[in-house]
């Protein structure tokens, strides 16, 4: 049995699904690894490093033809997708909601497709949880990037010439990315506020030194899986009033609020941005799914009334080596669960919640 991976479109995605150090793990459970030429050369990883660990370097066509599993960061391009055949398995962040038509066509050919972003939040799936591993890095990097565009010092500084006040940061959404953003901003000396529709987040925010902004009704807005639910119009109005008052004194906003598989909720509207101080910064991590800010434009930094609004489509392209290392481990753990080591086959056991929830129907 063989696991293969081919290069992504590097204009969109710089991360890779297989790193040299993970090859030994695949070999240890009886799997060979096929990679295309110059697979991770853009990360400074030469083919020789993969070969020395036991991987085979082939052409893209050979990898797709000879591999039982194709492990990717995102979905394959149309040309490569059409080369997959019956009983092959495609695994990655394949976004079944945006790529519904493509995936319907390929599943008709009896190619098994698994979307890792649909992993259930259960204990057994934690080592495979790509949303947590990647969001953790994204929250960290979003804070660093937003601070680099803010034209004042972040921590409070007392000098003979006077005192510089600490920057005030608001984190919207206290999931994995949000909590890491809170922790990073606090370490750098900022005063941090946070808001989330899930009341369970309050204790986590406060444990990191943040101040939790409570919106009435928050306790009813968490799914059984631990994700945020969509909010009612009444809740949105209450949240809007609270945030509008808060934003008058905030210097930096980091937006991280997402609902899996759906458009990101608009939380910071134009009227709220109008009341922010000149020189403030909004970093919208939800940009690729529509954004939490009404004015967010993907892959652009725009300015409105003196406020910079940043909408990076893929912030992890700025940390591709760290992100790839974590993603490769998540991918291996998922494939390890899929592989029957006794029978030496990939077993699509739909009684396994992990496999059932991630398999694209």
Q: What would the pLDDT profile of 305-359 be if each residue is shown by its tens digit?
A: 999 999 999 999 999 999 999 999 999 999 999 999 999 999 999 999 999 999 9
Catalytic residue among 41, 52, 126, 165: 126
304 pLDDT exceeds 80?
Answer: yes
Q: Give residue-wise pLDDT tens across range 223-261.
A: 655 555 566 777 778 888 899 999 999 999 999 998 766
Catalytic choice (129, 196, 251, 284) = 129
Among residues 134, 251, 131, which one has the least CA distance to residue 190? 251
pTM, to two decimals: 0.88
Active site residue 86: no
- Confidence category of residue 133, pLDDT binned at 50, 70, 90: very high
Determine whether 50 is an active site residue: no
Domains of the chain and any CATH numbers: 2-118+320-358 (3.40.50.720), 135-317 (3.40.50.720)
Please say if 126 is a catalytic residue.
yes
Q: Choosing from 7, 88, 132, 146, which is the catalytic residue? A: 132
Q: Which residue from 61, 63, 92, 88 is spatially nearest to 76, judged by alpha carbons? A: 92
Q: How many other CB atoms are there within 10 angstroms of residue 288's CB atom?
A: 19
Give pLDDT, residue 262: 76
**Nearest-angstrom CA–CA distance, 28 and 23:** 9
Residue-wise pLDDT for 264-300, tens only, equals 899 999 999 999 999 999 999 999 889 999 999 999 9
Q: E-assigned strands of the chain?
A: 2-5, 32-36, 56-58, 69-71, 89-92, 112-115, 157-159, 162-164, 168-172, 191-195, 211-213, 252-255, 281-284, 300-304, 307-311, 339-340, 345-346
- The residue from 47, 227, 277, 352 that is catalytic is 227
Catalytic residue chosen out of the listed positions 32, 47, 97, 121 = 121
């Amino acid at each position: 049995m063989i696991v293969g991976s081919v290069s992504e479109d590097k204009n969109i995605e710089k991360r890779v699904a297989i790193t040299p150090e993970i090859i030994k793990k695949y070999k240890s459970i009886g799997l060979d690894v096929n990679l295309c030429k110059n697979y991770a050369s853009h990360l400074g990883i030469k083919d020789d490093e993969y070969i020395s660990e036991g991987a085979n370097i082939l052409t893209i066509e050979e990898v797709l033809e000879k591999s039982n599993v194709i492990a990717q960061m995102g979905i394959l391009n149309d040309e490569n997708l059409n080369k997959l055949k019956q009983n092959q398995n495609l695994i990655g962040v394949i976004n079944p909601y945006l790529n519904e038509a493509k995936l319907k066509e390929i599943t008709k050919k009896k190619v098994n497709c698994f979307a890792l972003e649909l992993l259930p939040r259960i204990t057994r799936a934690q080592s495979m949880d790509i949303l947590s591993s990647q969001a953790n890095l994204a929250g960290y990097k979003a804070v660093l990037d937003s601070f680099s565009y803010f034209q004042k010092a972040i921590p409070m500084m007392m000098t003979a010439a006077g005192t510089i006040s600490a920057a005030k940061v608001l984190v919207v959404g206290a999931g994995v990315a949000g909590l890491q953003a809170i922790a990073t901003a606090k370490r750098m000396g900022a005063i941090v506020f946070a808001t989330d529709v899930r009341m369970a987040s309050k204790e986590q925010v406060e444990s990191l030194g943040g101040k939790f902004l409570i919106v009435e009704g928050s306790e009813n807005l968490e799914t059984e899986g631990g994700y945020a639910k969509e909010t009612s119009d009444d809740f949105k109005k209450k949240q809007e009033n609270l945030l509008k008052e808060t934003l008058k004194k905030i210097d930096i906003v980091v937006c991280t609020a997402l609902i899996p598989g759906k458009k990101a909720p608009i939380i910071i509207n134009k009227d709220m941005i109008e009341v922010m101080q000149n020189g403030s910064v909004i970093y919208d991590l939800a940009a690729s799914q529509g954004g939490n800010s009404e004015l967010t434009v993907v892959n652009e930094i725009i300015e409105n009334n003196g406020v910079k609004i940043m909408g990076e489509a893929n912030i992890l392209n700025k940390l591709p080596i760290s992100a790839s290392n974590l993603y490769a481990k998540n991918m291996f753990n998922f494939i390890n669960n899929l592989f029957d080591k006794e029978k030496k086959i990939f077993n699509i056991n739909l009684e396994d919640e992990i496999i059932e929830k991630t398999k694209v129907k």
